[in-house]
Structure 1
């Protein structure tokens, strides 16, 4: 069965992913002193991340192929149910006709009945009548047998379709769960890559960050530069990243002239982002908030809301898509 062959491929993919997970976990868990394994480098982690992402993409493709097969199986199950109802209706009609014929034959004494023959009727006509009645009976019995066969066939088809749909649903549930675990593992590897980079700058005794001055040709601070690098590596924004600006611009200056802010664009030309890019913006904003203390994030602005670490708050309307930060995630650092 096609579903079973797909399940076999999926199980093979799952075993490979499990093996990869074991390797990463071994790297991630501290070893006992004296048996310490070398800490993986960023290059090694990225290579492992690339392998996992390819497997994840393959699993996603298999998942959607399975979804198409499931839809076809469900459609076949529905069609079989409809054909069964039609066959049952035809069978019921044939049964009614047979009952009417039986009543008629009972009333007339039935073909071959001695009282009819003895009643003085023309024997030739009676014989013709008997032959006709027998032929009708045979035809009706054949119809009933045929419809009963149709009914049984469609019942079998419905059962087979339901069984296949059930197998597909079970395979998809397992694949979906493994896909979820793989994506979680990918996130953990990305977190480990982030942690390989120490945050530039100094922290005071109370945990606050000492402000930095911008440097380099991009005129941003080392701390902002690291965040820009990590977000570019992790999320690959499609529409560019804007950081230093001399003036405030349409969205307001803030930390941009100080080199302490970057805008991660989710669309161009002041257009509203697509649903997929809104989700990407959500992920970028969530990452910045999650790593607020580690990387010295001061606040995040996204979709006319600001988050300084204590939850999202609405902002006043500044009059446009860009001014209200609907087309970009703004991140400021200390």
Structure 2
């Protein structure tokens, strides 16, 4: 396969992926402070690599769309010109072709007759030449299309590998539990990747089958996706998802996570910067509920449910504890 600028960019991204995959397991045994910095840096680099690989794939796919349009236009032109050439041939045959011109030369101005015949011959030759040019162009375009398909497949495979590496870095941060990011401010958080849906747009049923990096229990694939996407958006503080001892609720089914708004654990009633962090996180889940598959969000004595039309009062479980009132963490439940 011929070397192209696209392939060279792809090679650079894949090389970065290999370097990243070597970094993550080493970081797990480093000094805690160095570990956190290394994991955060690895995630940032993995996200950048993913964006670059995604852009490369999108560019190649856009080129493929343009190429398909060019092939279609060329085929349409070939069809039109073929029809014109056929018409020309039929007309020449019905009129007796070149031999009938002898009668033209015998009557009238011979010079005019010869000019007319030369013009007809020229037009026929030009149509044939143009037709051949279009056929050659179609062959070239189709060959380019086949080469581009190989590049797109290679880019898609690389993107999948980089996505896995990116998600592994996010899972490492969730498992570490010591994230201290202030979180994105003013609604400037990263837009999450959409969680997979059925072909009819509905959400597939998912069991508690994915390892929960925050507890060692299990969560659903959709919950795992939301957890990692939140971390990638900058919400990386202490989080716990699976909880087997709870009676009822979404945690035992792997469909819920509690995101602390403080660094290192569930500290207590949120104020100041911690309250802002929680506000931003709750807003982010609500803003992207349709992409992630959010069932409801609880934060600061309020619950948000799409079916209920938005936020409403949430009474907690009495006693005014931060845990019950959800004033020390944002609760996320998934469909």
State the TM-score, normalizing by the size of structure 1: 0.54
Query: 1:187 and 1:22, CA in 2 relative to 1: closer, same or farther beyond 3 A?
Result: same
Question: 1:108-137 CA distances to partner (integer Å, 9 max, x unpaired)?
Answer: 2211x2x55268545555533432221111
Q: Contact 1:74–1:165 (CA<8 Å) still a contact in 2?
A: yes
Give the gaps of 5 or more residues in structure 2.
Answer: 180-213, 216-244, 246-259, 289-297, 305-310, 330-335
Task: Indicate the structure (1 or 2) with the bigger Cα radius of gyration.
Answer: 1
Residue 274 of structure 1 deviates from its aligned partner by 2.8
Residue 86 of structure 1 deviates from its aligned partner by 1.2
The answer as to 2:118 corresponding to 1:131 is yes
Matched residues in 2 for 1:278 and 1:303: separation?
Answer: 16
Residue 278 of structure 1 deviates from its aligned partner by 7.4
Query: 1:232 and 1:55, CA in 2 relative to 1: closer, same or farther beyond 3 A?
Result: farther
**What's 2:88 paired with?**
101
Query: 1:265 and 1:130, CA in 2 relative to 1: closer, same or farther beyond 3 A?
Result: closer
Q: Contact 2:46–2:162 (CA<8 Å) still a contact in 1?
A: yes
**What's 1:69 paired with?**
56
Residue 166 of structure 1 deviates from its aligned partner by 2.1
Matched residues in 1 for 2:38 and 2:303: separation?
Answer: 38
State the TM-score, normalizing by the size of structure 2: 0.54
Matched residues in 2 for 1:238 and 1:55: separation?
Answer: 31
Residue 147 of structure 1 deviates from its aligned partner by 1.7
Q: 2:165 aligns with which of 161, 172, 178?
A: 178
SS for the counterpart of 1:230 is coil
**What's 2:22 paired with?**
19
Question: 1:157-215 CA distances to partner (integer Å, 9 max, x unpaired)?
Answer: 433433332222111111001111222223333379x99xxxxxxxxxxx9xxxxxxxx
Q: Contact 1:239–1:266 (CA<8 Å) still a contact in 2?
A: no
SS for the counterpart of 1:274 is helix
Q: Contact 1:240–1:265 (CA<8 Å) still a contact in 2?
A: yes
Residue 316 of structure 1 deviates from its aligned partner by 7.9
Residue 49 of structure 1 deviates from its aligned partner by 2.1
Q: Contact 2:67–2:145 (CA<8 Å) still a contact in 1?
A: yes
Q: Contact 1:3–1:168 (CA<8 Å) still a contact in 2?
A: no
Query: 1:118 and 1:151, CA in 2 relative to 1: closer, same or farther beyond 3 A?
Result: same
SS for the counterpart of 1:240 is helix
Matched residues in 2 for 1:264 and 1:148: separation?
Answer: 64
Residue 63 of structure 1 deviates from its aligned partner by 1.0
Matched residues in 1 for 2:116 and 2:82: separation?
Answer: 22
Matched residues in 1 for 2:55 and 2:89: separation?
Answer: 51
| RMSD over equivalenced CA pairs, Å | 4.4
Question: 1:202-257 CA distances to partner (integer Å, 9 max, x unpaired)?
Answer: xxxxx9xxxxxxxxxxxxxxxxxx99551499xxx99523xxxxxxxxxxxxxxxx
Matched residues in 2 for 1:303 and 1:147: separation?
Answer: 67
Residue 65 of structure 1 deviates from its aligned partner by 1.9
Residue 265 of structure 1 deviates from its aligned partner by 5.0
Matched residues in 2 for 1:177 and 1:301: separation?
Answer: 34
Query: 1:104 and 1:11, CA in 2 relative to 1: closer, same or farther beyond 3 A?
Result: closer
Q: Contact 2:178–2:264 (CA<8 Å) still a contact in 1?
A: no
Q: 1:274 aligns with which of 262, 268, 283?
A: 283
Matched residues in 2 for 1:9 and 1:162: separation?
Answer: 20
Q: Contact 1:94–1:140 (CA<8 Å) still a contact in 2?
A: yes
SS for the counterpart of 2:97 is coil
Residue 14 of structure 1 deviates from its aligned partner by 3.4
Aligned length: 224
Q: Contact 2:81–2:131 (CA<8 Å) still a contact in 1?
A: yes
The answer as to 2:327 corresponding to 1:330 is yes
Matched residues in 2 for 1:62 and 1:103: separation?
Answer: 61
Q: 1:117 aligns with which of 93, 102, 111?
A: 102
